[in-house]
């Protein structure tokens, strides 16, 4: 297949094809509105369809809550500070903040790569970030495994504030958004696009202020493409050495279900020369995706303001491959993995922060219970991965994997979050 590295189309032909695909899929998935931006060798094409809310058309500049892609912006700011020697990636966070009670191993490098061992979220979103971290029970020894942590990025935001003397919003605007020509918007900005639940009901955004560095930005797909441009080598934000450090895979960061690897703030999709960088993000009723092909000088950015946006993205990537965009295929388990019986010893409750994941016998099989929500028909495979039946679609859906010896699992990994056996 010819890839974007080898093919160069006219902007008008590309826009026509992309708009047709996006419009068709938006209708199929009943998503109110969506945007798609493709940046290839310096030429950017942006298309959009549908509405922001009710009868207000989606525009090319409509800011959509991008959820966790905010972490790419936060990490890029942290790396820019590191490039200027304002932040040492291997200095204990407590020393940077000038506070006591934080573990000496808790460094910006581990926080950025999700290998700090911190739980995913604070037990009390209204509490103090430092208090939540001091009280947190690690999900793994530091630097040994990947476990996605919004709480960790809250701490990165605090480090940025400490070394700049600015709020996180002021710093991300001054260091990143303003130089890129991006008009800043946040989940609480009046112009921000509404998210929508299944059925089309508009929903508001709920994000504790503590977690702003992990998920507060609202950007258009065109803005996301500019953010991606930084990681194609746009001068003025990151030098070559710092960018290489940020993009390099961290050996211990081997996520399941989210990506194929992780650097310092950016995920890896695929392997070797075919790998793309990027990040996914969901907010309340939105789904956004960013992919960056450094070798092919290409960025693909997508936003949707409906709960069906993630399924739309999966279909969109299939369509883009048909248009010769060499996006890597998702991988969840080994191709020859076979279903196996669930070892009795792995029926247990596993915990990440305040969230419990219980695997127990259910009606006619095995089920996963997440804080009272039951996911039936859990099927385990001989590569330690497992699926559950999606209640919405009825399909077997990749869910997680076990860590440890079969029958004596020490943890489960679900959605990139590691939960330790209680």
pLDDT recorded at residue 299? 95
Contacts of 240 by beta carbon, 8 Å cutoff, 6+ apart: 233
How far is residue 68's CA from residue 46's CA, in Å, rounded to a whole number?
A: 22
Tell me the mean pLDDT in the region 285-304.
Answer: 96
Residue 9's pLDDT is 39
Assess whether pLDDT exceeds 60 at residue 6: no
Which residue do the tokens 């009046």 mark?
Answer: 190
pLDDT at 324 over 90: no
Report CA torsion sign: 218, 223, 225, 228.
negative
As a whole number of angstroms, the distance between CA 286 and CA 303 comes to 7
- pLDDT value at 103 more than 70: yes
Q: What is the pLDDT confidence band of residue 13, given thresholds at 50, 70 and 90?
A: very low
- Report the half-sphere exposure of 334 (CA within 13 A, side-chain side): 11
pLDDT tens-digit series, residues 360-400:
998 889 999 998 899 999 999 999 999 998 877 788 889 99
Other Cβ atoms within 10 Å of 180 Cβ, number: 16
- Write out pLDDT tens, residues 141-150: 999 999 999 9
8 A C-beta contact, residue 121 and residue 151: yes
pLDDT recorded at residue 7: 38
b/e sequence 142-157, b meaning 16+ C-beta within 10 Å: bbebbbbbbbbbbbbb
Phi/psi of residue 65, nearest 5 degrees: -55, 120
- What is the arithmetic mean of pLDDT over 89-112? 97
For residue 12, is pLDDT > 60?
no
Position 68 pLDDT exceeds 60: yes
Cα–Cα distance, 120 to 149 (Å, whole number): 4
pLDDT band of residue 1 (cuts 50, 70, 90) is: very low
H or E element that contains 212: helix 212-215
pLDDT beyond 70 at 5: no
pLDDT for residue 11 is more than 80: no
Helix (H, G, I), strand (E, B) or coil at 366: strand
Per DSSP, 211 falls in state: G
pLDDT of residue 8: 39
Q: From the CB of residue 324, how many other CB atoms can be counted at a distance below 10 Å? A: 14
Measured CA to CA in angstroms, residue 75 lies from 58, 78, 241, 242 at distances of 29, 5, 15, 12
Q: Which residues contact 294 (CB under 8 A, 6 or more apart)?
A: 231, 232, 233, 247, 277
In this prediction the pTM is: 0.94
List domains and CATH numbers for the chain: 1-331 (3.40.710.10), 339-421 (2.40.128)
Flag the least confident range among 19-28, 236-245, 265-274: 265-274
The Cα–Cα gap between 359 and 347 comes to: 5
CA gap 413, 297 in Å, rounded: 33
Residues 312 and 304: beta-carbon distance below 8 Å: yes
pLDDT at site 117 = 97
Predicted local confidence at residue 10, as pLDDT: 39
- Over residues 53-69, the mean pLDDT reads 96
| Torsion 369-370-374-380 (CA) sign | negative
Percent of residues, the chain, with pLDDT higher than 70: 97
195-208: pLDDT as tens digits: 999 888 999 999 99
Distance from C-alpha of 44 to C-alpha of 384, rounded to nearest angstrom? 42
Task: Quick: pLDDT tens for 21-58.
Answer: 999 999 999 999 999 999 998 899 999 999 999 889 99
pLDDT of residue 143: 96
């Amino acid at each position: 297949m010819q890839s974007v590295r080898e093919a160069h189309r006219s902007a008008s032909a590309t826009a026509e094809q992309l708009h047709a695909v996006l419009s068709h899929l938006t209708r199929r998935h009943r998503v109110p509105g969506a945007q798609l931006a493709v940046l290839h060798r310096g030429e950017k094409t942006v298309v959009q369809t549908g509405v922001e809310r009710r009868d207000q058309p989606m525009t090319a500049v409509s800011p959509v809550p991008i959820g966790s892609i905010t972490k790419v912006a936060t990490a890029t700011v942290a790396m820019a500070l590191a490039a200027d020697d304002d932040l040492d990636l291997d200095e204990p966070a407590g020393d940077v903040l000038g506070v006591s009670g934080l573990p000496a191993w808790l460094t910006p490098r581990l926080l950025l790569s999700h290998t700090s061992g911190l739980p995913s979220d604070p037990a009390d979103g209204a509490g103090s970030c430092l208090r939540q971290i001091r009280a947190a029970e690690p999900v793994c020894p530091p630097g040994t495994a990947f476990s996605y942590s919004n709480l960790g990025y809250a701490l990165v935001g605090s480090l940025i504030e400490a070394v700049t003397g600015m709020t996180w919003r002021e710093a991300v605007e001054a260091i990143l958004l303003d130089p890129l020509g991006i008009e800043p918007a946040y989940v609480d900005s009046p112009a921000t696009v509404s998210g929508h639940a299944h059925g089309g009901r508009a929903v508001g955004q709920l994000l504790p202020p503590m977690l702003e560095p992990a998920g507060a930005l609202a950007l258009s797909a065109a803005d996301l493409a500019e953010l991606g441009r930084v990681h194609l080598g746009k001068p003025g934000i990151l030098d070559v050495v710092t960018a290489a450090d940020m993009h390099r895979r961290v050996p211990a960061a081997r996520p399941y279900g989210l990506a194929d690897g992780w650097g310092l703030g950016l995920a890896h999709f695929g392997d070797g020369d075919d790998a793309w960088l990027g990040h996914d993000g969901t907010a309340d009723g939105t789904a956004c995706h960013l992919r960056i092909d450094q070798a092919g000088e290409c960025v693909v950015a997508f936003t949707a303001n409906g709960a069906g946006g993630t399924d739309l993205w999966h279909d969109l990537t299939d369509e883009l491959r048909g248009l010769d965009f060499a996006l890597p295929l998702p991988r969840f388990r080994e191709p020859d993995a076979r279903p196996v019986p669930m070892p009795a010893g792995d029926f247990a409750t596993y915990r990440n922060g305040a969230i419990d994941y219980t695997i127990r016998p259910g009606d006619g099989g095995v089920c996963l219970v997440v804080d009272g929500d039951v996911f039936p028909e859990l099927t385990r495979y001989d590569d330690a991965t497992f699926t559950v039946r999606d209640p919405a679609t009825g399909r077997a859906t990749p869910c997680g994997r076990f860590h440890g010896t079969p029958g004596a699992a020490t943890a489960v990994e679900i959605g990139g979050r590691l939960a330790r056996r209680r």
